[in-house]
Amino acid sequence: MTTLQTERLALRQWRDDDLDALAAMNADPEVMRYIMDGAVRDRPQTEAGLRHMVKIWEEHAFGLFAIDVRETGEFAGWAGLSVPEFLPEVMPTVEIGWRLAREHWGQGYATEAATAALRFGFEERGLERVVSIRHRENDRSRRVMEKLGMAHGFDTVVPANGQPVAVHAISRDQYLGGGAGES
Ligand SMILES: CC(C)(COP(=O)(O)OP(=O)(O)OC[C@H]1O[C@@H](n2cnc3c(N)ncnc32)[C@H](O)[C@@H]1OP(=O)(O)O)[C@@H](O)C(=O)NCCC(=O)NCCS
């Protein structure tokens, strides 16, 4: 059971009782604004998503972590590693991503959790390269990528839905050397 601790957050595996908080987060239009077609997810879709997140962990030696705020025990969202099958042109690769409930935005949690997940990917799973993919207008996410040292690589479009995305990346060497710098 892989768990990670940061100063303020606990990154852990999924539990069935995460569904309520996950469904509330995925029902928030502001949270979902830049995710795929921007539609909110209903409870059955979120339940399928939860099963998918469990499956990623079963199929790979990595996955998306549930995030709890250590001080309060509150569920804040998720961050971690997955496989971006929705963008065939970058495959095969590993993607780092994040999604937080809105009440937890703006406190540096995404960067704190993703920093731990990136370290896990490079130092404990021996990854050679990690990408991160965002809607081109998702400036908050762009900022998190920059703070992680992930340089902007190129812009493209998701074939399934025409979403304009920017692809950022960091190699193992860049990570070990302190980041890819900002573009
Ligand atoms: C993206 C997300 C995870 C960021 O979470 P967070 O914990 O607020 O992120 P952090 O606090 O670590 O960093 C956010 C950065 O964006 C900056 N920021 C906030 N609002 C911004 C805006 N409107 N435009 C540009 N930058 C902005 C913050 O100032 C901060 O940068 P700083 O530390 O240099 O000041 C959160 O907004 C979220 O869950 N969004 C919805 C889901 C989503 O879009 N996921 C990503 C898909 S690629």
Calculate how far, in angstroms, residue 90's C-alpha sits from the geometric centre of ligand 1.
24
pLDDT in tens, 86-99: 999 999 999 999 99
Q: Is the dihedral of CA 58, 6, 134, 126 positive or negative?
A: negative
pLDDT of residue 31: 98
Q: Which tens digits make up the pLDDT trace of 142-182?
A: 999 999 999 999 999 999 999 999 999 999 999 999 766 54
Residues 67, 117 contacting (CB under 8 angstroms): no
Residues constituting the chain? 183
Cα 139 to ligand 1 centre (Å): 7
- Summarize pLDDT for 49-84 with one digit per residue, the tens: 999 999 999 999 999 999 999 999 999 999 999 999
* Minimal-distance CA residue to ligand 1 atom 43: 99
CA distance 47 to 38: 18
Query: Which residues does 166 contact at the CB level (< 8 Å), separation at least 6?
Result: 133, 134, 135, 136, 142, 152, 153, 154, 155
- Ligand 1: residues with CB < 6 A are 31, 34-35, 97-100, 105-111, 134, 138-141, 143-144
Residue type, 177: G
Q: Whose CA is nearest to atom 31 of ligand 1?
A: 143
Closest atom of ligand 1 relative to the 146 alpha carbon: 34
Residue 180 amino acid letter: A
The answer to whether 42 and 29 have CB atoms below 8 angstroms apart is no
pLDDT value at position 178? 76
Kindly list the structural domains of the chain, giving each domain's residue range(s) and its CATH number in brackets, ordered by start: 4-176 (3.40.630.30)
E-strand stretches of the chain: 4-5, 9-12, 64-69, 75-82, 95-100, 129-135, 151-157, 164-171
> pLDDT over 70 for what percent of the chain?
97
Among 100, 143, 148, 163, the mutation site with the greatest number of ligand 1 atoms within 8 A of its Cβ is 143
Cα 151 to Cα 35, 81, 109, 132, 145: the distances in Å are: 21, 17, 20, 10, 8
What sign does the dihedral 140-144-149-154 (CA atoms) show?
negative
Mark residue 43 as left, alpha or beta (left: phi above 0; alpha: psi -120 to 50; beta: remaining): alpha
Q: Are 134 and 34 in contact (CB under 8 A)?
A: yes
Query: How confident is the model at residue 180, as a pLDDT?
Result: 65
Between the CA of 32 and the centroid of ligand 1 the distance, in Å, is 13
- Please provide the average confidence, as pLDDT, over all residues in the chain: 96
pLDDT at 183 over 90: no
